[in-house]
Structure 1
Amino acid sequence: MRPRTDLLANRYELRAPIAGGGMGQVWRGQDTLLDRPVAVKVLRDQFAGNATFLTRFRAEAQHAALLTHPHIAAVFDYGEVPAGPDGSPLAYLVMELVEGESLADLLARVGRLDPARTVDILWQAADGLAAAHAAGVVHRDIKPANLLVTPQGVVKITDFGIARSAASVAVTGTGQVIGTAHYFSPEQATGGASTPASDVYALGTVGYECLAGRRPFEAENPVQIAVMHIRDAPPPLPAGIPAGVRALVERAMAKDPHARFPDGAALRDAAGRLAPGLPTSPTRRATTAVLPVAGPGTTPMAAATTAARARSRWAIPLLAGLGALLLAVAVLAVVLPDRSEPAPPGEAPTATTPAGIEVLAAAHIGRPVQEVQADLVGRGLRVELVAVETADVPAGQVTALDPVGTLAPGDLVRLSYAVSPVPVPAPVPPPVDPGDDGREDREEAEEDRKKAEEERKEAEEEAKEAEEKARKDAEEAMKEAEEERQDREEDREEGGD
């Protein structure tokens, strides 16, 4: 695709291609009206006349326009140009130009990131997702390529091309697999509905890749990768990763959506609690300021200058008063005897003896085992899982903990959880003397045994059929995804030429 010689919509100058996606190509551009650099995403020519792709492209603009947040690339404008002499219509999306590189390029360059920087990236991305989820938007394609990192370390989410809004009509077919195979949530891999927890899984997978320097699942084709997301546990993270960071990623990547952090806000809060305790944790970056648009309620520059001067008149005496107060506090700290005071909420105790970890059975029994495991590991304990066959408790729920009470960091807790009992065929009745008169009982017992055996076989066949159907559905959906990926690769190669 080549830029037109004239200005796009009589306003935007397309200067150089900077990226290519499945539906469009992104250009570095210049807004000649406001005299500022912008990123312009143009729908590819082969899709511009397709109503489905045009609807999806409009949806990207609408979804992203709903969101104004420091960790989401802002959308400035959207437009559609009617077909010209060449017969090709054109749709475009004007966005904030984020200087920097994608997280995918960063990982390709450095290999892996330390835990502190990984948690910082997760915090920022989850903060952006929290705003999207609060607005009813699910991104559905969180991956390193869609996380832009500025030279100052600020993370911005981009590409809401396949996002879903709870307030809008779906633009993808029911049961259609949407997303990128390496970062699929299990529910996405089976064609299920995407929820905020699906974005959490994808971001947890990104965190895993940052820490390990590799993706959690690799295979020869996307179908196999999708099946691994559904069935397999990821390889352990490298040794030396702090237990809290490990637990954060493991919970985000839980197979059961209910065992994960429910949305971006919950993941952000968990990462925020974890960050201060990490060695060499980067200082939280200041929130990006957004310049106000001139209009009603905007403070004129002269008024702002006057206010600044007014503040400077009382700032000096205020600083002097604060200095005197700090001096008084320092004197009291030296004169007064040392007294033990409880640490403020959220601060670690300063005593050299590590505090005990209180584990109460009532607080954990009945909860999902993955959730309890992540909780205990995150508090510094080791966990051993013990499966208990029982029909009295739903599968996956915790049935017992041992030991309980006040434990020391690093103690081992045996966590028992329920699994459904395996059905066994009815026992064959012992042979009976032909001479007795219990023939009817024997025949009835034999019929019951045969019936139980038939039911067992039917259940096995139904399970196999369901598994085969899910596998075929996943294969078909993943073939479509692979074809789209190959098309995107070809488009990128053409754009590079």
Structure 2
Amino acid sequence: MDTSVADPLVGQVLDGRYRIESRVARGGMATVYVARDVRLDRIVAIKVMHAGLASDDDFVARFIGEAKAAAALSHPNVVAVYDQRTDGEHVFLVMEYVPGRTLRDLLTERGRLGPRAALEIMQPVLAALGAAHRGGLVHRDVKPENVLLTEDGQAKVADFGLARAESASKMTKTGLIIGTVGYLAPEQVLAGSADVRSDVYASGVMLYELLTGELPHRADTALAVAYKHVNEAVPPPSAAVPGLTPAIDALVTRATAHDPAARPQDANRLLGEVAEVFGGLPRDFDERVEEASRNQTAVLETPAPPPGPYAPQYGPPGGGRTAVLDPSGTAPVEPPPRGRADRAIGAITGKYVLIAIGAIAAVILGWAVWYQTSGQYEHVPERIVGMKVADAKAKLEGAGMTVRVGPKQFSDRVRKDQVVKSDPPAGARIAKGDTVTLTPSKGRMPREVPDVTGKSVEDATGDLRGKGFTVGRTSREPSQTVGKGDVIRTDPKGGAEQSPDVPVDLVVSTGMSMPGLVGTNGDEAANKLRAMGLDVKVDKEDPGDRQPNTVLRQDPAQGTGVSRGDSVHLVVTDRKCAFNAGPVHIGCDDGDRGQNASVPVPNTVGQNVKDARQALRSSGFKVKETGWGGDTVRFQNPGGGEAPRGSTVTIVRGP
């Protein structure tokens, strides 16, 4: 039967990009579809959260966080997560489409796998889990249904992080144990906590199931199965399948130890043990085990159960069941027949139990009818979530309810100052006059502000918008280290967390401030500008009555913003002699500024190595470079002061 015919999502295009083509499966928390990515023209799998979970803002926040962690997990045996999106009420994951079937399908078809086949398929599964464990990610729901087998024989593990999001949501609200109960580690049952060793336990249970065709703990209820995980050890698989080696038994026993410290400490450790046991098995070992199993068991028919209310549950009334017995011929032990008095007591007891159950059901039914029809109750109005808090409050008070506004919380699905949720929720029945608590939104969940220091305003704005932020106020100030037009800092600073609903302010550099140099020594002025990373051009001019080697003019003027690499122009009096108008000689400056005279050493620490090299050479120094790579000057010797022109300055470069 085509399950997609009546599905309203089939044929729709989500987020303007993913066209839903057919439904593949429906699970406890999501429905999986095959879709086409119309932008990249490829087939993908879309996992759409059920409406009940998608409306839970806490769940969605956890789900998005886990989806990001899963998307960062790149491994050939992991089903890749491409994207996470929200389209209206639909919260969904975009994943790699893996044509084929699940390990559960294979196990259902074969009943059980041979030991070599089981250990072989466990290795890529454990490799995928090991990659997750190295990244600090715990799967929490390892089972055959989450192992996909491709058409070319590869195994891929799916649903990383999803079980955690669901578990966190439901544990908070109901105290339920979430996960497939047959694979839960004892610590998950007792404390609701899980780490990488819980995945190891589930992997050991899955290996047992692959080897035997059955789970190690079975009971009539999930609670009883969970009780067995806490109180009973997983039996060795050889008890169910004769011929398995002690090494295989030990592998399962270690992985499923009750004490997490006694298990292999992550999936990578278990993978090493599995590979070692697999390598020690002969190639025909599966055939040997199958032969041993056939020779040591016989299938016999057992008699039909005796009549009466105390008959053991062998099977359908009047029919036999098939039991696997030891060929020694030992007959099954049947309970002794019950006497007439016993049967009478049983019938009377059963009669009164039925009467009691009927009375309780009548009371419950009567209460339910009264509850639904009593005029003392009202429904919390629908569509409260997403309304402005003031509007929602007026609507509820108009319906006769008392309203309380609780603390704000962040939400990626509801705008700031709108209602995230109500308690009780919309649609719930409450007594007239009871209180409904509204939780307003503080805006979207905080995320890390990108570091855009040193980038142009255009590039910084693009980076911020790419992370969901908007740019707020832009102020400007001079900087000796950041070029003109580039970002000096942000508020909040890069790396801090802030809601994208709050704008990020920029402080932009107007460049370095041009110093006032007129009247100063020409050589010192030029060296100072070169140390700032500027390209200095010096022209000489007849000094007239001015002191030799003195700055007459500068361009740009004092206080102008400049950046590294900008050209500046100095006009300096000639070093030859300068005289007054009269016969008095003012003096010459060509004897104290010779080739070996001391000149200021530009301080280039923190500058780009290329700029530093240019500044030092322009000042008349030789440059020696050392260090451990990188393009920034981390140390300089001498680091300032004066040194003879032509001497060597050592710079140490680093990242």
TM-score (normalizing by structure 2) = 0.40
- What CA distance in whole angstroms lies between the structure 1 residues aligned with 2:284 and 2:55? 50
Residues 133 and 264 in structure 1, CA contact (< 8 A), matched pair in contact too: yes
What do the CA deviations read for 1:395-438 (whole angstroms, capped 9, x no partner)? xxxxxxxxxxxxxxxxxxxxxxxxxxxxxxxxxxxxxxxxxxxx
Report the residue type matching 2:257 in the other structure: A
Which residues in structure 2 correspond to 1:67-86 (within 5 Å)? 67-82=73-88
Residue aligning to 1:493: none
- C-alpha contact (below 8 Å) 1:117/1:281 kept by paired residues: no
- Choose 95-104 or 227-236, whichever is displaced more: 227-236
Is contact 1:76-1:96 (8 Å) kept?
Answer: yes
CA contact (8 A) 2:12 2:20 kept: no
Q: Paired residue for 1:247?
A: 250
1:356-389 deviations in whole A, cap 9, x for unaligned? Answer: xxxxxxxxxxxxxxxxxxxxxxxxxxxxxxxxxx
Q: Hey, what does 1:152 align to over in structure 2?
A: 152
Where do 1:54-453 residues align within 5 Å? 54-82=60-88, 89-164=89-164, 173=171, 177-237=177-237, 238-280=241-283
Which contiguous aligned blocks of 4+ residues in structure 1 show a shift greater than 6 angstroms?
Answer: none
Distance 1:65 1:107, change over 3 A: same
Pair 1:31 & 2:61 matched: no
Q: Work out the CA distance in 2 between the residues paired with 1:126 and 1:252.
A: 12
Instruction: Report the AA paired with residue 150 of structure 1.
Output: T
Work out the CA distance in 1 between the residues paired with 2:133 and 2:170.
19
Q: Based on CA coordinates, which of the two structures has the bigger radius of gyration?
A: 2
Q: Supply the AA of the counterpart residue of 2:253.
A: E
Are the equivalent residues in 1 in contact too, given 2:10–2:23 (CA < 8 A)?
no
Deviation at 1:235, TM superposition (A): 3.6
Q: Contact conserved, 1:177 with 1:190, CA < 8 A, in 2?
A: no
SS at structure 1 position matched to 2:13: coil
Distance change (3 Å), C-alpha of 1:243 and 1:214: same
Identity score, percent: 40
Task: Give the alignment of 1:475-494 within 5 angstroms.
Answer: none
Give the letter for the 2:219 counterpart.
A
Cα 1:116–1:234, aligned 2, differ >3 Å: closer, same or farther?
same
C-alpha change, 1:265 and 1:272, in structure 2 (3 Å) is: same
In the TM superposition, what is the alpha-carbon distance from 1:17 to its structure 2 partner?
A: 1.0
* Number of equivalent positions: 273
Q: Distance in 2 between matches of 1:60 and 1:145?
A: 20
User: How many angstroms apart in 1 are the aligned matches of 2:66 and 2:22?
Assistant: 22
> For each residue in 1:299-330, what CA deviation from the matched residue of structure 2 results, as whole angstroms up to 9, or x when unmatched?
xxxxxxxxxxxxxxxxxxxxxxxxxxxxxxxx
Q: Encode CA deviations 1:71-110: one digit per residue, 9 max, x unaligned.
A: 110011111113xxxxxx1111100011111111111111
Contact 2:181 2:226 in 1 (8 A): yes
Q: 1:256 & 1:61 partners in 2: Cα distance? A: 30
1:233 is displaced (CA, Å) by 2.3
Are residues 1:53 and 2:56 paired?
Answer: no
Q: Give, as a single letter, the amino acid of the residue that structure 1 aligns with 2:133.
A: H
Asked if 2 retains the 8 angstrom alpha-carbon contact of 1:12 and 1:31, the reply is yes
User: CA shift at 1:242, angstroms?
Assistant: 2.2
Residues 247 and 155 (structure 1), Cα distance of their counterparts in 2 relative to 1, 3 Å cut: same
Contact kept? 2:122, 2:207, Cα under 8 Å: yes
1:13 aligns with 2:19: yes
Unmatched 5+ stretches in structure 2? 1-6, 286-655
- In 1, the alpha carbon distance for the partners of 2:163 and 2:267 equals 15
How far residue 50 of structure 1 moved from its aligned partner, in angstroms, is 2.0
Aligned residue identity for 1:119: L
Cα pair 1:119 1:245 within 8 Å, conserved: no
Q: What is the CA distance between 1:192 and its match in structure 2?
A: 4.1
Matched residues in 1 for 2:127 and 2:99: separation?
20
1:296 maps to which residue?
none
Question: Does structure 1 retain, via aligned residues, the 8 Å contact 2:137–2:161?
Answer: no
The question of whether the paired residues in 2 share the 8 Å contact of 1:98 and 1:148 is answered with yes
Name the CA distance, whole Å, in 2 between partners of 1:15 and 1:53. Answer: 27
Separation in 2, partners of 1:48, 1:198: 27
* Aligned-partner Cα distance in 2 for 1:114–1:105: 16
Amino acid at match of 2:209: E
1:263 deviates by: 0.4
Q: Retained in 1: the 8 A contact 2:235–2:253?
A: no
| Structure 1: segments with no counterpart, 5+ residues | 83-88, 283-497
Tell me how far apart the structure 1 counterparts of residues 127 and 33 of structure 2 sit (CA, whole Å): 27
Cα displacement (A) at 1:217:
0.7
In 1, Cα distance between the equivalents of 2:224 and 2:169?
Answer: 26
The offset of 1:130, in angstroms, is 0.7
1:275/1:281 contact within 8 Å kept:
no
- Asked whether the equivalents of residues 171 and 178 of structure 2 are also in contact (C-alpha less than 8 Å), the reply is no
Q: Counterpart of 1:190 in 2: which secondary structure?
A: helix
CA-to-aligned-CA distance 1:446-486 (integer Å, 9 cap, x gap): xxxxxxxxxxxxxxxxxxxxxxxxxxxxxxxxxxxxxxxxx
**Contact between 1:71 and 1:128, CA under 8 Å: does it hold in 2?**
yes
Q: Structure 1 22/52 Cα, relative in aligned 2: closer, same or farther at 3 Å?
A: farther
Is the Cα contact below 8 Å between 2:138 and 2:161 reproduced in 1?
no
User: How far apart, CA to CA, are the structure 2 residues paired with 1:100 and 1:80?
Assistant: 28
1:179 partner letter: G
**Do 1:66 and 1:135's aligned partners in 2 also have CA atoms closer than 8 Å?**
no
Does the C-alpha gap of structure 1 residues 184 and 12 become closer, same or farther in structure 2, counting only changes over 3 Å?
same
Q: Do 1:56 and 1:162's aligned partners in 2 also have CA atoms closer than 8 Å?
A: no
Mapped partners of 1:201, 1:125: distance in 2: 14
1:159–1:248 distance in 2 versus 1, CA, 3 Å? same
Question: Which residue number corresponds to residue 392 of structure 2?
Answer: none
Distance 1:112 1:4 in 2: 36
Question: Is the helix fraction higher in 1 or 2?
Answer: 1
> TM-score, normalized by length of structure 1?
0.52
Q: Aligned-pair RMSD on alpha carbons?
A: 2.2
For 1:163 and 1:49, locate their aligned partners in 2 and report how far apart those are by CA, in whole Å: 17
Contact 2:21 2:33 in 1 (8 A): yes
Displacement, 1:197? Answer: 0.6
Closer, same or farther: CA 8–223 of 1 in aligned 2, 3 Å: same
Per the TM alignment, residue 248 of structure 1 is displaced from its structure 2 partner at its CA by 1.0
Could you say what secondary structure the match of 1:138 adopts? coil
Give how far 1:266 is off. Answer: 0.3
Distance change (3 Å), C-alpha of 1:233 and 1:201: same
Any conservation in 1 of the 2:149–2:155 contact (CA below 8 Å)?
Answer: yes
Q: Deviations over 1:231-255 (max 9, x none)?
A: 1123442111122222111111111
Rounded Cα–Cα distance in structure 2 between residues aligned with 1:42 and 1:192 = 26
Q: CA 1:193 to 1:47, structure 2 compared with 1: closer, same or farther past 3 Å? A: closer
| Greater relative CO, 1 or 2 (CA 8 Å, sep 6+) | 1
Aligned-partner SS, 2:14: coil
Separation (CA, whole Å) in 1 of partners of 2:117 and 2:32? 28
Identify, as 1 or 2, the structure richer in strand. Answer: 2
- Which residue does the alignment assign to 2:588? none
